[in-house]
Structure 1
Protein backbone atom coordinates (compact mmCIF):
# COMPACT_ATOMS: atom_id res chain seq x y z
CA UNK A 1 0.00 0.00 0.00
CA UNK A 2 1.33 3.42 -0.84
CA UNK A 3 2.04 6.11 1.72
CA UNK A 4 -0.71 8.11 0.00
CA UNK A 5 -3.27 5.96 1.85
CA UNK A 6 -1.87 7.01 5.22
CA UNK A 7 -1.78 10.64 4.13
CA UNK A 8 -5.35 10.51 2.84
CA UNK A 9 -6.70 8.88 6.01
CA UNK A 10 -5.01 11.38 8.33
CA UNK A 11 -6.21 14.25 6.13
CA UNK A 12 -9.80 12.98 6.26
CA UNK A 13 -9.63 12.84 10.07
CA UNK A 14 -8.26 16.39 10.21
CA UNK A 15 -10.95 17.65 7.84
CA UNK A 16 -13.61 15.97 9.98
CA UNK A 17 -12.39 17.95 12.98
CA UNK A 18 -11.86 21.24 11.15
CA UNK A 19 -15.27 21.15 9.50
CA UNK A 20 -14.51 23.60 6.69
CA UNK A 21 -12.46 23.70 3.46
CA UNK A 22 -8.68 23.78 3.87
CA UNK A 23 -6.16 24.37 1.09
CA UNK A 24 -3.92 21.51 0.03
CA UNK A 25 -0.74 23.43 0.90
CA UNK A 26 -1.98 23.95 4.46
CA UNK A 27 -3.06 20.31 4.74
CA UNK A 28 0.36 19.21 3.51
CA UNK A 29 2.15 21.54 5.93
CA UNK A 30 0.43 19.91 8.92
CA UNK A 31 2.54 16.75 8.44
CA UNK A 32 5.37 18.21 6.37
CA UNK A 33 4.22 16.41 3.22
CA UNK A 34 5.00 17.39 -0.37
CA UNK A 35 1.99 19.55 -1.38
CA UNK A 36 1.89 18.46 -5.03
CA UNK A 37 1.85 14.77 -4.13
CA UNK A 38 -0.79 15.23 -1.41
CA UNK A 39 -2.89 17.28 -3.82
CA UNK A 40 -2.93 14.34 -6.28
CA UNK A 41 -4.21 12.06 -3.50
CA UNK A 42 -6.83 14.64 -2.53
CA UNK A 43 -8.01 14.79 -6.14
CA UNK A 44 -8.45 11.00 -6.02
CA UNK A 45 -10.66 11.48 -2.97
CA UNK A 46 -12.69 14.15 -4.81
CA UNK A 47 -13.24 11.80 -7.76
CA UNK A 48 -14.41 9.12 -5.32
CA UNK A 49 -16.92 11.49 -3.71
CA UNK A 50 -15.13 11.52 -0.36
CA UNK A 51 -13.95 15.14 -0.55
CA UNK A 52 -15.21 18.22 -2.31
CA UNK A 53 -12.96 20.84 -3.83
CA UNK A 54 -14.10 24.38 -3.12
CA UNK A 55 -12.61 27.13 -5.34
CA UNK A 56 -11.67 30.60 -4.22
CA UNK A 57 -9.62 32.28 -1.52
CA UNK A 58 -11.58 30.59 1.29
CA UNK A 59 -11.68 27.33 -0.66
CA UNK A 60 -9.81 24.12 -0.41
CA UNK A 61 -10.82 20.57 0.39
CA UNK A 62 -13.59 19.46 2.70
CA UNK A 63 -15.33 16.18 3.45
CA UNK A 64 -18.14 15.60 0.97
CA UNK A 65 -20.00 13.26 3.31
CA UNK A 66 -20.54 12.70 6.98
CA UNK A 67 -17.43 11.06 8.51
CA UNK A 68 -19.65 8.18 9.69
CA UNK A 69 -20.42 7.33 6.05
CA UNK A 70 -16.78 7.22 4.87
CA UNK A 71 -15.19 3.84 5.48
CA UNK A 72 -11.48 3.27 5.63
CA UNK A 73 -11.97 0.97 2.63
CA UNK A 74 -13.52 3.87 0.69
CA UNK A 75 -10.32 5.86 1.20
CA UNK A 76 -8.01 2.94 0.45
CA UNK A 77 -9.92 2.16 -2.75
CA UNK A 78 -9.88 5.82 -3.82
CA UNK A 79 -6.09 5.93 -3.50
CA UNK A 80 -5.06 2.40 -4.50
CA UNK A 81 -7.87 1.45 -6.84
CA UNK A 82 -10.24 -1.51 -6.63
CA UNK A 83 -7.88 -4.19 -7.95
CA UNK A 84 -6.98 -7.08 -5.65
CA UNK A 85 -3.73 -6.73 -3.73
CA UNK A 86 -2.62 -10.22 -4.82
CA UNK A 87 -2.75 -11.24 -8.45
CA UNK A 88 -2.25 -14.88 -9.34
CA UNK A 89 -0.29 -14.94 -12.59
CA UNK A 90 -0.60 -18.69 -13.05
CA UNK A 91 3.08 -19.56 -12.63
CA UNK A 92 1.97 -23.10 -11.76
CA UNK A 93 1.41 -23.58 -15.47
CA UNK A 94 5.12 -22.91 -16.03
CA UNK A 95 6.30 -25.50 -13.50
CA UNK A 96 7.86 -28.74 -14.80
CA UNK A 97 4.54 -30.62 -14.47
CA UNK A 98 2.27 -27.60 -14.93
CA UNK A 99 -0.82 -27.40 -17.10
CA UNK A 100 -0.79 -24.13 -19.03
CA UNK A 101 -4.49 -24.52 -19.83
CA UNK A 102 -5.64 -24.76 -16.18
CA UNK A 103 -7.46 -21.88 -14.48
CA UNK A 104 -4.78 -21.34 -11.84
CA UNK A 105 -6.27 -18.21 -10.21
CA UNK A 106 -9.38 -20.22 -9.25
CA UNK A 107 -7.65 -23.51 -8.36
CA UNK A 108 -4.34 -22.42 -6.78
CA UNK A 109 -4.31 -22.96 -3.01
CA UNK A 110 -2.04 -19.94 -2.52
CA UNK A 111 -4.32 -17.70 -4.57
CA UNK A 112 -7.33 -18.89 -2.54
CA UNK A 113 -5.56 -18.21 0.77
CA UNK A 114 -4.58 -14.73 -0.38
CA UNK A 115 -8.14 -14.05 -1.56
CA UNK A 116 -9.58 -15.08 1.84
CA UNK A 117 -7.06 -12.89 3.68
CA UNK A 118 -7.79 -9.92 1.46
CA UNK A 119 -11.55 -10.32 1.91
CA UNK A 120 -11.09 -10.33 5.70
CA UNK A 121 -8.90 -7.23 5.44
CA UNK A 122 -11.43 -5.45 3.22
CA UNK A 123 -14.31 -6.39 5.56
CA UNK A 124 -12.39 -4.94 8.50
CA UNK A 125 -11.66 -1.69 6.64
CA UNK A 126 -15.26 -1.46 5.40
CA UNK A 127 -16.48 -1.82 8.99
CA UNK A 128 -14.53 1.19 10.28
CA UNK A 129 -15.27 4.79 9.39
CA UNK A 130 -13.49 8.10 9.64
CA UNK A 131 -15.89 8.90 12.51
CA UNK A 132 -14.75 5.72 14.30
CA UNK A 133 -11.11 6.75 13.94
CA UNK A 134 -11.93 10.27 15.17
CA UNK A 135 -13.74 8.83 18.21
CA UNK A 136 -10.82 6.54 19.08
CA UNK A 137 -8.31 9.38 18.82
CA UNK A 138 -10.60 11.61 20.90
CA UNK A 139 -10.73 8.95 23.66
CA UNK A 140 -6.96 8.50 23.64
CA UNK A 141 -6.04 12.18 23.21
CA UNK A 142 -9.07 14.30 24.17
CA UNK A 143 -7.42 17.61 23.21
CA UNK A 144 -6.41 16.54 19.71
CA UNK A 145 -9.49 17.78 17.79
CA UNK A 146 -9.30 21.25 19.35
CA UNK A 147 -5.52 21.45 18.87
CA UNK A 148 -6.00 20.51 15.22
CA UNK A 149 -8.77 23.09 14.71
CA UNK A 150 -6.57 25.81 16.24
CA UNK A 151 -3.61 24.85 14.06
CA UNK A 152 -5.69 25.17 10.91
CA UNK A 153 -7.05 28.48 12.19
Structure 2
Protein backbone atom coordinates (compact mmCIF):
# COMPACT_ATOMS: atom_id res chain seq x y z
CA UNK A 1 0.00 0.00 0.00
CA UNK A 2 1.28 3.42 -0.85
CA UNK A 3 -0.10 6.70 0.44
CA UNK A 4 0.58 10.07 -1.07
CA UNK A 5 2.93 12.49 0.61
CA UNK A 6 -0.08 14.66 1.48
CA UNK A 7 -0.82 12.29 4.39
CA UNK A 8 2.61 12.91 5.89
CA UNK A 9 2.25 16.64 5.33
CA UNK A 10 -1.21 16.69 6.87
CA UNK A 11 -0.13 14.75 9.96
CA UNK A 12 2.95 16.91 10.53
CA UNK A 13 0.87 20.08 10.13
CA UNK A 14 -1.72 18.78 12.61
CA UNK A 15 1.07 17.97 15.08
CA UNK A 16 2.61 21.42 14.64
CA UNK A 17 -0.75 23.16 15.03
CA UNK A 18 -1.41 21.13 18.17
CA UNK A 19 1.90 22.26 19.69
CA UNK A 20 1.25 25.89 18.76
CA UNK A 21 -2.22 25.83 20.32
CA UNK A 22 -5.13 27.86 19.06
CA UNK A 23 -4.11 31.36 20.10
CA UNK A 24 -3.89 32.55 16.50
CA UNK A 25 -4.31 30.90 13.10
CA UNK A 26 -1.14 29.77 11.38
CA UNK A 27 -0.81 30.84 7.72
CA UNK A 28 -0.02 28.24 5.06
CA UNK A 29 3.11 30.18 4.16
CA UNK A 30 4.57 29.66 7.64
CA UNK A 31 3.80 25.95 7.68
CA UNK A 32 5.24 25.59 4.17
CA UNK A 33 8.41 27.43 5.22
CA UNK A 34 8.75 25.32 8.37
CA UNK A 35 8.64 22.08 6.36
CA UNK A 36 10.17 23.41 3.11
CA UNK A 37 7.04 22.49 1.14
CA UNK A 38 5.34 24.16 -1.83
CA UNK A 39 2.73 26.52 -0.30
CA UNK A 40 0.07 26.08 -3.00
CA UNK A 41 0.08 22.28 -2.78
CA UNK A 42 0.18 22.34 1.03
CA UNK A 43 -2.75 24.77 1.07
CA UNK A 44 -4.84 22.28 -0.94
CA UNK A 45 -4.08 19.54 1.59
CA UNK A 46 -4.97 21.85 4.48
CA UNK A 47 -8.26 22.81 2.82
CA UNK A 48 -9.05 19.10 2.52
CA UNK A 49 -8.54 18.79 6.29
CA UNK A 50 -10.86 21.78 6.82
CA UNK A 51 -13.61 20.09 4.78
CA UNK A 52 -13.16 16.98 6.93
CA UNK A 53 -13.59 18.99 10.16
CA UNK A 54 -10.02 18.36 11.32
CA UNK A 55 -8.80 21.94 10.85
CA UNK A 56 -10.56 25.27 10.86
CA UNK A 57 -9.63 28.10 8.55
CA UNK A 58 -9.70 31.84 9.10
CA UNK A 59 -9.58 33.96 5.93
CA UNK A 60 -7.82 37.27 5.54
CA UNK A 61 -4.44 38.83 6.14
CA UNK A 62 -4.30 37.52 9.72
CA UNK A 63 -5.88 34.23 8.76
CA UNK A 64 -4.61 30.71 8.61
CA UNK A 65 -5.30 27.31 10.11
CA UNK A 66 -5.74 25.77 13.52
CA UNK A 67 -7.05 22.47 14.82
CA UNK A 68 -10.85 22.28 14.76
CA UNK A 69 -10.87 19.63 17.51
CA UNK A 70 -8.65 18.72 20.45
CA UNK A 71 -5.61 16.59 19.47
CA UNK A 72 -6.95 13.59 21.37
CA UNK A 73 -10.05 13.53 19.17
CA UNK A 74 -8.21 13.56 15.83
CA UNK A 75 -7.16 10.06 14.83
CA UNK A 76 -4.50 9.27 12.28
CA UNK A 77 -7.24 7.49 10.31
CA UNK A 78 -9.23 10.75 10.23
CA UNK A 79 -6.32 12.44 8.47
CA UNK A 80 -5.62 9.52 6.14
CA UNK A 81 -9.30 9.26 5.13
CA UNK A 82 -9.53 13.03 4.57
CA UNK A 83 -6.45 13.14 2.33
CA UNK A 84 -6.63 9.75 0.58
CA UNK A 85 -10.39 9.17 0.63
CA UNK A 86 -12.46 6.51 2.34
CA UNK A 87 -12.46 3.94 -0.46
CA UNK A 88 -11.14 0.47 0.25
CA UNK A 89 -7.48 0.08 -0.61
CA UNK A 90 -8.02 -3.36 -2.15
CA UNK A 91 -10.64 -3.64 -4.86
CA UNK A 92 -11.68 -7.17 -5.78
CA UNK A 93 -12.57 -7.39 -9.46
CA UNK A 94 -13.52 -11.07 -9.33
CA UNK A 95 -10.88 -12.20 -11.81
CA UNK A 96 -11.52 -15.74 -10.59
CA UNK A 97 -14.70 -15.67 -12.68
CA UNK A 98 -12.86 -14.87 -15.92
CA UNK A 99 -11.43 -17.24 -18.51
CA UNK A 100 -11.10 -20.75 -17.04
CA UNK A 101 -13.07 -19.69 -13.95
CA UNK A 102 -16.22 -19.45 -16.04
CA UNK A 103 -16.35 -23.23 -15.97
CA UNK A 104 -16.87 -23.28 -12.17
CA UNK A 105 -20.34 -23.53 -10.72
CA UNK A 106 -22.17 -20.35 -9.78
CA UNK A 107 -22.31 -21.66 -6.21
CA UNK A 108 -18.52 -21.28 -5.95
CA UNK A 109 -18.80 -17.50 -6.35
CA UNK A 110 -21.48 -16.80 -3.72
CA UNK A 111 -18.87 -16.05 -1.06
CA UNK A 112 -15.87 -13.74 -1.41
CA UNK A 113 -12.70 -15.59 -2.37
CA UNK A 114 -9.83 -16.18 0.04
CA UNK A 115 -7.80 -13.37 -1.53
CA UNK A 116 -10.55 -10.78 -1.01
CA UNK A 117 -11.21 -12.03 2.53
CA UNK A 118 -7.54 -11.90 3.53
CA UNK A 119 -7.03 -8.45 2.02
CA UNK A 120 -10.15 -7.06 3.72
CA UNK A 121 -9.07 -8.47 7.08
CA UNK A 122 -5.62 -6.87 6.70
CA UNK A 123 -7.10 -3.53 5.68
CA UNK A 124 -9.47 -3.52 8.65
CA UNK A 125 -6.55 -4.18 11.00
CA UNK A 126 -4.61 -1.30 9.41
CA UNK A 127 -7.59 1.05 9.69
CA UNK A 128 -8.20 0.05 13.32
CA UNK A 129 -4.55 0.67 14.20
CA UNK A 130 -4.67 4.16 12.69
CA UNK A 131 -8.04 4.90 14.31
CA UNK A 132 -6.63 3.99 17.73
CA UNK A 133 -3.81 6.55 17.47
CA UNK A 134 -4.38 10.28 17.77
CA UNK A 135 -2.50 13.51 17.24
CA UNK A 136 -2.17 13.62 21.04
CA UNK A 137 -0.37 10.25 20.86
CA UNK A 138 2.04 11.72 18.30
CA UNK A 139 2.65 14.63 20.64
CA UNK A 140 3.41 12.26 23.52
CA UNK A 141 5.77 10.14 21.39
CA UNK A 142 7.75 13.08 20.00
CA UNK A 143 11.38 13.53 21.03
CA UNK A 144 11.93 15.67 24.14
CA UNK A 145 12.01 19.33 23.25
CA UNK A 146 10.22 19.03 19.90
CA UNK A 147 7.19 21.02 21.06
CA UNK A 148 9.33 23.78 22.63
CA UNK A 149 11.54 23.96 19.52
CA UNK A 150 8.44 24.31 17.34
CA UNK A 151 7.01 27.11 19.49
CA UNK A 152 10.38 28.94 19.64
CA UNK A 153 10.87 28.68 15.88
CA UNK A 154 7.34 29.84 15.18
CA UNK A 155 7.85 32.79 17.55
CA UNK A 156 10.95 33.83 15.61
CA UNK A 157 9.00 33.61 12.32
CA UNK A 158 6.23 35.89 13.60
CA UNK A 159 8.29 38.25 15.72
TM-score (norm 2): 0.88
Evaluate the alpha carbon distance shift between residue 105 and residue 62 of structure 1 in structure 2; reply closer, same or farther with a 3 A threshold. farther
Counterpart residue number, 2:14? 12
Structure 2 segments unaligned to the other structure (5+ residues) = none
Counterpart residue number, 2:119? 114
SS at match of 1:88: coil
- Larger radius of gyration between Structure 1 and Structure 2: 2
TM-fit CA distance, 1:57: 2.3
When structure 1 is superposed on structure 2, of 45-54 and 56-65 the one drifting more is 56-65
1:4-44 per-position Cα deviation (integer Å, ceiling 9, x unaligned): 00110011000000113111111111111111111111011
TM-score (norm 1): 0.91
Q: State the distance in 1 between where 2:37 and 2:21 align.
A: 21
Runs of 4+ in 1 over 6 A off after TM superposition: 100-103
Matched length: 150
In structure 1, which of residues 127, 131, 136 is the aligned counterpart of residue 136 of structure 2? 131
Structure 1 segments unaligned to the other structure (5+ residues) = none
RMSD (CA atoms): 1.9
